[in-house]
Amino acid sequence: MRYDDPRLLDALAREYVLGTLHARARARFARVLMASMPARRAVLAWERSLQPLALAVPAAAPPAHVWPRIAAAVGARRERPTRGVGWWQALAAGLAVIAVLLAVNFVRPPEQPQYTAIVADQQTGPVWLLQGFASELRVSTLNARPVPAGSSYELWVVPGNGAPPVSLGLIPGVGNAVLPLSAAQLGVLAQSMTLAVSLEPAGGSPNGVPTTVIFTAPLLRG
């Protein structure tokens, strides 16, 4: 497996952070993290990207019958003869600890976003994760929403003083994008609390104002 392939590293880092890698694959990737700076950076980038999404999901209490079932299952396992931890399990655990220490001590923490917003559809859930930095806005599509033929999605910042919305640029329906921010756009962002997404003709709004606003989202700072 070519761990020097950026696309492969990005996919493995995503699954590693989400916790969906199988045990052997996770142990292999933990070993990769020891020797690969790009792999550690990819893991930290996914942790930063997914944290706002996790915080946006409201907490939900499990049904009352769940905990008794878990207690019963744990009790059943304890009745089985216990086995000592094998050298392979101990090695895997040690490698994971070392990988974390290396990431903390040798990887420069990614730049923190100054603004964050999650644009969500009431029926399908989050669609875009938007993260604003010192000179750019990073757009990550969380739930693909292909652009209708002959149309474009355009992102706007809505000033809080009643002034007209200001375009931040076109955003994709699939994949990611980086929108450079001008000093004027940054100035409006600093005084605004709301973002909006509109459906426009291909290429964007023809007259500098939103044609059909389809989503709005609160703009969170810090």
120 and 40 fall within a common domain: no
31 and 92 fall within a common domain: yes
Instruction: Establish if 1 belongs to a structural domain.
Output: yes
Helix (H) or strand (E) holding 116: strand 115-121
Higher per-residue confidence, 70 vs 201: 201
Higher per-residue confidence, 119 vs 28: 119
143 and 211 fall within a common domain: yes
Instruction: Establish if 74 belongs to a structural domain.
Output: no
Higher per-residue confidence, 38 vs 66: 38
Instruction: Establish if 77 belongs to a structural domain.
Output: no
1 and 102 fall within a common domain: yes
Mean pLDDT of the chain: 79
Instruction: Establish if 142 belongs to a structural domain.
Output: yes
Q: Report, as an integer, the average pLDDT of 25-46.
A: 79
Residue-wise pLDDT for 41-65, tens only, equals 887 777 777 766 665 555 566 777 7
8 and 103 fall within a common domain: yes
For residue 39, the model assigns a pLDDT of 81
| 154 touches 137 (CB < 8 A) | no
Instruction: Establish if 76 belongs to a structural domain.
Output: no
99 and 146 fall within a common domain: no
For residue 19, the model assigns a pLDDT of 78
For residue 201, the model assigns a pLDDT of 96
pLDDT above 90 (res 6): no
Q: Report, as an integer, the average pLDDT of 78-98.
A: 53
For residue 75, the model assigns a pLDDT of 66
Residue-wise pLDDT for 172-204, tens only, equals 999 999 999 999 998 898 888 899 999 999 999
With tokens 């962002």, the residue in question is 189
Q: Taking the complete model, does pTM exceed 0.75, yes or no?
A: no
pLDDT above 70 (res 119): yes
CATH of the domain at 133: 2.60.40
Q: What is the C-alpha to C-alpha distance for residues 94 and 83, in angstroms, rounded to an integer? A: 19
With tokens 């550690």, the residue in question is 40
Q: Report, as an integer, the average pLDDT of 127-152.
A: 91
Instruction: Establish if 67 belongs to a structural domain.
Output: no
Domains: count for the chain: 2
Q: In what order do the strands lie in the sheet with 115-121?
A: 176-180, 136-141, 125-132, 115-121, 220-221
104 and 164 fall within a common domain: no
Q: Report, as an integer, the average pLDDT of 88-100.
A: 56
Q: In what order do the strands lie in the sheet with 166-171?
A: 166-171, 151-159, 192-201, 212-218
48 and 119 fall within a common domain: no
Q: Where is the domain boundary, 93, 110, 127?
A: 110
With tokens 């946006």, the residue in question is 56
154 and 98 fall within a common domain: no
50 and 99 fall within a common domain: yes
* Domain coverage including residue 188: 115-221
Instruction: Establish if 63 belongs to a structural domain.
Output: no
Q: What is the C-alpha to C-alpha distance for residues 78 and 88, in angstroms, rounded to an integer? A: 22
Q: What is the DSSP string of 174-207?
A: SSEEEEE--HHHHHHHTTEEEEEEEEEETTS-SS
40 and 90 fall within a common domain: yes
172 and 196 fall within a common domain: yes
Instruction: Establish if 71 belongs to a structural domain.
Output: no
CA count, 13 A, side-chain hemisphere, 94: 7
